[in-house]
Amino acid sequence: MGADQIRRWESGALAHAVSDPFGQGPLPWLRGSDNYFDDTGQMVPWYADEVLARGGSGGPRTADDVRRQIKGFASGGAVAPGDSIDFHITVDPPQQFSVDIYRIGHYGGHGAAKITTSPRLSGIVQPAPLIVDRTVSCHHWWQSWRLQVPSYWAVGAYVAVLTTVDGHRSHIPFTVRDDHPADLLLVLPDVTWQAYNLYPEDGRTGASLYHAWDEDGRLLGEEDAAVTVSFDRPYAGAGLPLHVGHAYDFIRWAERYGYDLAYAETRDLHAGRVDPGRYRGLVFPGHDEYWSAPMRRAAERARDQGTSLVFLSANTMYWQVELGPSASGVSDRLLTCRKRRGPGRPALWREVDRPEQQLLGIQYAGRVPEPHPMVVRNAEHWLWEATGAGDGDEIPGLVAGEADRYFPRTALPEHESRILLAHSPYRDGDEVLRHQETSLYRAPSGAWVFASGTFAWSPALDRPGHVDSRIQRATANLLDRICKRD
């Protein structure tokens, strides 16, 4: 199969989107002058809907990984106000392009706000990616633009929107963080985002920790996927991570209601750049499957020192990974997970006698092929207060994507109190009846540890078509109690 004939439904990204119905979209949308119109006069979001990639000159078209009209990545990890971040961008054919910087937030329902725009920049065709043992890296690309982040910029999740003169568009996510104390630290799951990244999604060379292609363009599974992936490359497709939508849903909701948020990435947790004592709680808003040993130690230390932990997704901390330096010596630019291949110890945390339940209170049970209702349990608990939910009530569609549950034969963490707040039956891919659970426990330090046990919790906060006022209120009850240290 030729590269130009790759069918989108054979891509690894779309294959995994089947298990994550809330993966990328709808991403933050803007209104007014920052919207565009397609050839039929229909308004489309700022991130360029997939339909535009099939033609239409009325607005931007999404760049792809076959022609690579414009693609890029950011150097380093999260950046502090006053520091700089470098962007490495390829443009084919060579032409001028610009970079619009947006900050994700509520912004009166717009979902993001434009912060600044670059001058017109000269684009070049960068060298082909380097590939060694299925590891794809673009660390040899020339720097295209350096953004000096002003000291007055707010911390948060940002997106660099790349647009060529001829109207092709791509994206680069990045984070602005600092060390100032806050009630809540939002930890963006960049390690898991990279694990799923199949760039370049071209039917020939791209590889993630899940997929690669053979010489005939057939998509291969985990046994033939990459063992190591690089942060020095763009994200596949539109340039945004597969599971980014979960985090953006939470951000819009939390900033709408004025929660005092700081921001970091999981690589900050790994590198010891997070001091848990500065925060009343750490919030993990999205699919956060891949954890290094230092990441886990940091979370356990936070809990044991009295900092609460909030896990708003499922299948958290499932695979154990290692982070290493790039070929040029930049730390934490290579992500390695051997899974069940090659030398070394097993890669599942539960296989090294450290099951995730010992931190979360529940752990991964399996995929949920079709959304099922969440069934409320222990409705008299303060988490369900003022939600209107009663015991046995069903919240439609709240068990979706993947699910966690309590494993009775697996040790629980030390706790002063513990409760399961949902017990929800669903059928797996083999039509076997299983169940999902939502957990909350209080550690001896006084820290609360909450685990939603489903992919659908964050989308219920601010995802059009999925918002549920009961989940919004329950989340507010939890965060308010954490922020007040009750």
The stretches of 166-242 forming alpha helices (DSSP H) are: 190-195
- 282, 296 Cβ separation under 8 angstroms: no
- Express each pLDDT in 249-266 by its tens digit: 999 999 999 999 999 999
Tell me the pLDDT of the chain (486 aa) as tens digits: 444 444 443 444 555 555 677 765 554 433 333 443 344 444 344 333 333 334 444 567 889 999 999 999 999 889 999 999 999 999 999 999 999 999 999 998 888 999 999 999 999 999 999 999 999 999 999 999 999 999 999 999 999 999 999 999 999 999 999 999 999 999 999 999 999 999 999 889 999 999 998 888 888 888 899 999 999 999 998 899 988 999 999 999 999 999 999 999 999 999 999 999 999 999 999 999 999 999 999 999 999 999 999 999 999 999 999 999 998 889 999 999 988 666 666 789 999 889 999 999 999 999 999 999 999 999 999 999 999 999 999 999 999 999 999 999 999 999 999 999 999 999 998 999 999 999 999 999 999 999 999 999 999 999 888 999 999 999 999 999 999 866
CA distance 438 to 452: 5
Nearest to 277 by CA among 266, 262, 287: 262
166 with 95: CB under 8 angstroms?
A: yes
What angle is formed at CA 161 by the lines to CA 159 and CA 163, rounded to 5 degrees?
A: 175
Q: What is the pLDDT of residue 340?
A: 66
pLDDT over 90 for what percent of the chain?
Answer: 76
Residue 436 CA to residue 205 CA, distance in Å, equals: 38
Q: Rounded to an integer, what distance in angstroms lies between the CA atom of residue 352 and that of residue 445?
A: 26
Is residue 312 within 8 Å of residue 474, measured between CB atoms? no
The residue count of the chain comes to 486
pLDDT in tens, 430-468: 999 999 999 999 999 999 999 999 999 999 999 888 999
Give the DSSP H/E element, type plus range, for residue 302.
helix 293-304
Domain made up of 3-230: CATH architecture: Sandwich (2.60)
| β 279-284/261-265 pair status | unpaired
- Domain limits of the chain? 3-230, 275-318+356-484
Q: What is the structure's pLDDT at 110?
A: 85
- In this prediction, residue 341 carries a pLDDT of 66
